[in-house]
A and B are shown apart, each in its own frame.
Chain A
């Protein structure tokens, strides 16, 4: 049992450590103070260590716990950064689940970004346009976003099933179309905030805002529970339901699944619609629980981070939750790191990319850490454009 858990967690752990190490080198070797000492090896290593250490300490303080915030207040006040990380984690979990579910059915959904945008559009419109009682308003607004996004995702499944169009190409293109469409509707009279010319919609009504968990001082809201519930649901769907069994069968071997009487087309369309719905729900809770208004940059890079999340999480719901927390922490902490020690937040992108690269190339990590007996299934089998 312990060995089984170790097998599953060792590779991601080593990949992460390796990525942090390389990221540290990038931070160190681009720092003028460090480079100034390059002639004396011992001094150099000392200042290299302290520079990188300080950067990662600031990252931790920005992501989890900052003792400076607790000073003079309660111990708990130091956890404010953690609450911010939670805020960023929730939509990321949902987008990550979107990509992970598609993986299990053998589809690579790069389109979470576009689906997220449609989720945000739907939730925002219901949120600012209509008056409704509190709980109902949240439900209706979220549902509107989820339906729009499910349709947007469903298009991909439909095209793949009926014409064979590769989902990667279609989703890349649909992401751009969604982004341009968002820009367009924000300039129309239906979405433009009165008195404004820049692309921003009116704020959602208070009845549509997700309620906070720890009062007004913390922004963390019930969105995180919605995301966790969705993760549990996807676990159930994949592992305990007939539909999920079909999805996995199609993902493992679509010809065999077809021979066994499973409708591959229906499974593809359903997968992409549910994937779209998940990313759309991410867009909806991000709009209703965090941003409160629709802007052209509402999606940030959630949909793209989701791909790295799903890869790091090995396509399982639990893995996605943990990976989302990790990457959200890096993102949030990175801001603090930039502000406090002047290391640009973009280093987080580098670390993120490296983690996924190392995960995807288990042979490399095994060689570096001399792990011989590590049981490791490849994250995803390679398929061509025509596959």
Chain B
């Protein structure tokens, strides 16, 4: 009975999602194609560097483009409904729908402008990198049953340590190497106080963020400004072109002409996704995060598993932190993570506490941000402040359950004591 109810609820959620897609497609036709009074040519440019040229430029009338791509969204919505009725997965249809909607929006927003398409994708991916690392760190923590709103602090602390290490030793690779240890150290604070002293984890995460912001800003004021050549001028990691793959049109520069931090990210994503659902480690993680009493009854030391995973999470966040200094600009500046840790948290929640979900959400948020900066140069119909709100509004919609309800791991945030009483 209960499982039947769960299935029908899940089905209802999916159906609601498809309705939302239909509404969005109609919205797209009306607003992006039908309503605009004027239309202009949009020039997409596809070539960034020395990759093989498939197509150099593509010019399309904005109204025609908007109609065309909206139609694509409608088509994929229909496909999604068809697959749903057949009882098959319709993830691919959602992907197609999103691309259609995105392109329709782009045609509308940049009518009469030049759009560096490949650059847009590449920039979006780069902006998403710290978000993905951050959300995976949150995922490993929260799937184990410890709330992590200290992602911001973990990113910032690791960025700081990586930056000064890279600068003092004049070696970006050593900066990258030390970053996961810095992240793990901050996680240690989270683990000790959350698991041993059983402090409320939201308060704890909040306090850790304040502490790290305070410490790094204090140190930045004290050392980095006075003797910045010694302390705060780290070399940066250079992009590595992967032979042949980096020559592929469009996806080459986007995926295969990046720094080591991004290649490492691919590995971590795959490992997390596979290990979470297929390995002993993942099974234990999920069991202590969902039903710790049951986990203990089969001999798992709940708090030990949690402790270890919180530390691992910190190390993952550490790599993301390294991106801010040795991975991009080299020097540290106070509060340079600028709330990225919270967008990562939003991505985690929006992605329903799954690796692929968090990845997709982080990518969407990264692209939205990149799009905002590209469009703000071109001059857009919508104020850039509203585009900045996208991740936050999307997350509120997600947790409110307007389009399906997201649910955190059942024991997330509840300290565990031997014997299951808490």
The 8 A CB mask of A352-383 against B (1 = contact, 0 = none) is 11101100110110000000000000011111
Q: Identify the interface centre among A176, A187, A356, A382: most chain B CB within 10 Å of its CB.
A: A382
Chain B residue total in the interface (Cβ 8 A): 56
- B→A interface (CB under 8 Å): 142, 147, 149, 193, 197-204, 206-208, 210-211, 213-215, 217-219, 221-223, 334, 339, 342, 345-346, 349, 383, 385-386, 388-389, 392-393, 395-396, 399-402, 405, 407-415, 422
Tell whether, in the assembled complex, residue A382 and residue B206 are in contact, meaning their CB atoms are under 8 Å apart: no
Tell whether, in the assembled complex, residue B385 and residue A385 are in contact, meaning their CB atoms are under 8 Å apart: no
Q: Which residues from B are CB-within-8-Å of A383? A: 200, 413-414
| Complex Cα–Cα for A382 and B200 (A) | 4
Tell whether, in the assembled complex, residue B383 and residue A357 are in contact, meaning their CB atoms are under 8 Å apart: no
Given pairs A164-B401, A344-B217, A382-B422, 11 additional interface contacts (CB within 8 A): A26-B218, A30-B223, A163-B405, A168-B149, A183-B385, A304-B210, A308-B210, A346-B218, A357-B204, A357-B211, A387-B414
Tell whether, in the assembled complex, residue A180 and residue B200 are in contact, meaning their CB atoms are under 8 Å apart: no
Q: Which residues from B are CB-within-8-Å of A346? A: 213-215, 217-218, 221, 334
Q: Identify the interface centre among B200, B223, B402: most chain A CB within 10 Å of its CB.
A: B200
Query: Which secondary structure dominates chain A's binding surface?
Result: helix
Tell me how far the C-beta of A170 lies from the nearest C-beta in chain B, rounded to whole angstroms.
6
Tell whether, in the assembled complex, residue B388 and residue A180 are in contact, meaning their CB atoms are under 8 Å apart: yes
Tell whether, in the assembled complex, residue A385 and residue B203 are in contact, meaning their CB atoms are under 8 Å apart: no
Tell me how far the C-beta of B203 lies from the nearest C-beta in chain A, rounded to whole angstroms.
6
| Complex Cα–Cα for A361 and B192 (A) | 11
Tell whether, in the assembled complex, residue B218 and residue A176 are in contact, meaning their CB atoms are under 8 Å apart: no
| Complex Cα–Cα for A301 and B40 (A) | 45
A8 at the interface (CB under 8 A from B): no
Tell whether, in the assembled complex, residue B339 and residue A386 are in contact, meaning their CB atoms are under 8 Å apart: no
Q: State which of B213, B385, B388, B402 has its C-beta within 8 Å of the C-beta of A349.
A: B213
| Complex Cα–Cα for A384 and B389 (A) | 26
Tell whether, in the assembled complex, residue B345 and residue A172 are in contact, meaning their CB atoms are under 8 Å apart: yes
Closest residue of chain A to B218 (Cβ to Cβ) is: A346
List CB contacts (< 8 Å) of A306-341 with chain B.
Answer: 307-308, 311
Q: Which residues from B are CB-within-8-Å of A164? A: 401, 405
Tell whether, in the assembled complex, residue B339 and residue A176 are in contact, meaning their CB atoms are under 8 Å apart: yes
Q: Which residues from A are CB-within-8-Å of B385? A: 180-181, 183-184, 187
- Show 17 residue pairs from A and B whose CB-CB distance is below 8 angstroms, ordered by the A residue: A110-B202, A159-B399, A169-B345, A172-B342, A172-B345, A180-B385, A181-B389, A184-B386, A344-B218, A346-B221, A349-B218, A352-B210, A357-B211, A384-B413, A385-B408, A385-B409, A386-B408
Q: Which residues from B are CB-within-8-Å of A308? A: 207, 210
Q: State which of B147, B393, B411 has its C-beta within 8 Å of the C-beta of A177.
A: B393
Q: A183-B385, A381-B200 are in contact. Are A174 and B210 (CB under 8 A)?
A: no
Q: State which of B193, B204, B395, B422 has its C-beta within 8 Å of the C-beta of A169.
A: B395
Q: State which of A110, A174, A347 has its C-beta within 8 Å of the C-beta of B218.
A: A347
The 8 A CB mask of A150-173 against B (1 = contact, 0 = none) is 000000000100011110111011
Closest residue of chain B to A176 (Cβ to Cβ) is: B392
Tell me how far the C-beta of A24 lies from the nearest C-beta in chain B, rounded to whole angstroms.
13
Query: Which secondary structure dominates chain B's binding surface?
Result: helix
Tell me how far the C-beta of B388 lies from the nearest C-beta in chain A, rounded to whole angstroms.
5
A273 at the interface (CB under 8 A from B): no
Q: Which residues from A are CB-within-8-Å of B395? A: 169, 173
Tell me how far the C-beta of A244 lies from the nearest C-beta in chain B, rounded to whole angstroms.
23
- A→B interface (CB under 8 Å): 26, 30, 108, 110, 159, 163-166, 168-170, 172-174, 176-177, 180-181, 183-184, 187, 304, 307-308, 311, 344, 346-350, 352-354, 356-357, 360-361, 363-364, 379-387
Tell whether, in the assembled complex, residue B204 and residue A360 are in contact, meaning their CB atoms are under 8 Å apart: yes
Tell whether, in the assembled complex, residue B410 and residue A386 are in contact, meaning their CB atoms are under 8 Å apart: yes
Tell me how far the C-beta of B29 lies from the nearest C-beta in chain A, rounded to whole angstroms.
27
Tell whether, in the assembled complex, residue B396 and residue A173 are in contact, meaning their CB atoms are under 8 Å apart: yes
Tell me how far the C-beta of B389 lies from the nearest C-beta in chain A, rounded to whole angstroms.
5
Tell me how far the C-beta of A227 lies from the nearest C-beta in chain B, rounded to whole angstroms.
23
Q: Which residues from A are CB-within-8-Å of B396? A: 159, 165, 169-170, 173-174
Q: Which residues from B are CB-within-8-Å of A380? A: 200, 203
Tell whether, in the assembled complex, residue B211 and residue A353 are in contact, meaning their CB atoms are under 8 Å apart: yes
Tell whether, in the assembled complex, residue A163 and residue B400 are in contact, meaning their CB atoms are under 8 Å apart: yes
Q: State which of B147, B199, B383, B405 has its C-beta within 8 Å of the C-beta of A361.
A: B199
Tell me how far the C-beta of A21 lies from the nearest C-beta in chain B, rounded to whole angstroms.
15
Closest residue of chain A to B399 (Cβ to Cβ) is: A165
| Complex Cα–Cα for A26 and B215 (A) | 9
Q: Which residues from B are CB-within-8-Å of A384? A: 147, 408, 410-414
Closest residue of chain A to B153 (Cβ to Cβ) is: A353
Q: Which residues from B are CB-within-8-Å of A176? A: 339, 342, 389, 392
Q: Which residues from B are CB-within-8-Å of A364? A: 197
Closest residue of chain B to A350 (Cβ to Cβ) is: B214
Q: Which residues from A are CB-within-8-Å of B218? A: 26, 30, 344, 346-347, 349-350
| Complex Cα–Cα for A164 and B386 (A) | 26
Tell me how far the C-beta of A223 lies from the nearest C-beta in chain B, rounded to whole angstroms.
25
Tell whether, in the assembled complex, residue A344 and residue B413 are in contact, meaning their CB atoms are under 8 Å apart: no
Tell whether, in the assembled complex, residue B386 and residue A180 are in contact, meaning their CB atoms are under 8 Å apart: yes
Tell whether, in the assembled complex, residue A173 and residue B392 are in contact, meaning their CB atoms are under 8 Å apart: yes
| Complex Cα–Cα for A307 and B201 (A) | 14
| Complex Cα–Cα for A360 and B205 (A) | 12
Closest residue of chain A to B396 (Cβ to Cβ) is: A173
Q: Which residues from A are CB-within-8-Å of B206? A: 110, 307
Tell whether, in the assembled complex, residue A386 and residue B222 are in contact, meaning their CB atoms are under 8 Å apart: no
Tell me how far the C-beta of A240 lies from the nearest C-beta in chain B, rounded to whole angstroms.
28
Tell me how far the C-beta of B171 lies from the nearest C-beta in chain A, rounded to whole angstroms.
24
Tell whether, in the assembled complex, residue B193 and residue A168 are in contact, meaning their CB atoms are under 8 Å apart: no
